[in-house]
Amino acid sequence: MEKKLEKIKKHVTECINCELSKTRTNSVPGKGNFKSDVIFVGEAPGKNEDMKGEPFIGIAGKKLSIALENVGITREQVYITNIVKCRPPKNRVPTEIERNTCKNYLKKEIEIIKPKIICILGNTAFNSLLDGKEIIKFRGKLVKKDNQLYFLTIHPAATIYNQKLTTVLKKDIKKLFKLVTEVKDKKEIKIDIEYTS
């Protein structure tokens, strides 16, 4: 399992499949515990992530860490990744072409880790993975699609200047890990939205 992830990491590091490879400093593969029950999926690396080649290490990452620590979880215990693995110039939203070009990396990360729940952080991940819009209206919900569970919450960056949203993120992360425990205990859980394909 670890070896397979290392292989993806190498591919991501060397990837030149889209224009973002020309402007990046480093590509940013997913990072964390390959045995994690949860994969967190953000949008794309920002400036700090691009400099260091690690996901969620800037202010948004700090916000995510705080929400995790609030329920006694460290970053190292989970797996964190992004829809797009290279920084879009000026942190613009990645285009559909960039997202599509990058999507196989995430697909493989998910196949290898087989998380109990994928936690979608913000609109870009919501749109890319579930074709959704306006996560603020759907946050806190549990979704099932193709036998995979997804939990929806806001992007941690949204909490930077908004104390109310900090509380929302903490509340959602708490619910997420309660759901994970219930799934592991094989308890009956309430699915809020089910996609049928």
Among 29, 30, 32, 46, which residue sits at the site for ligand URA (rule: CB under 6 A)?
46
User: Are 146 and 110 a contacting pair, CB within 8 Å?
Assistant: no
Q: Is residue 135 within the footprint of ligand URA (CB under 6 A)?
A: no
How does DSSP assign 77-135, residue by residue?
A: GSEEEESSSSPPGGGPPPPHHHHHHHHHHHHHHHHHH--SEEEEESHHHHHHHH----H
Among 36, 82, 127, 128, which residue sits at the site for ligand URA (rule: CB under 6 A)?
82
Q: Is residue 60 within the footprint of ligand URA (CB under 6 A)?
A: yes
Distance of CA 193 to the CA centre of its chain: 19
Q: Is residue 98 within the footprint of ligand URA (CB under 6 A)?
A: no
Q: Is residue 30 within the footprint of ligand URA (CB under 6 A)?
A: no
Rounded to an integer, what distance in angstroms lies between the CA atom of residue 151 and that of residue 176? 7
Q: Is residue 94 within the footprint of ligand URA (CB under 6 A)?
A: no
Q: Which residues bind ligand URA (CB under 6 A)?
A: 42-46, 49, 55-56, 58, 60-61, 82, 157
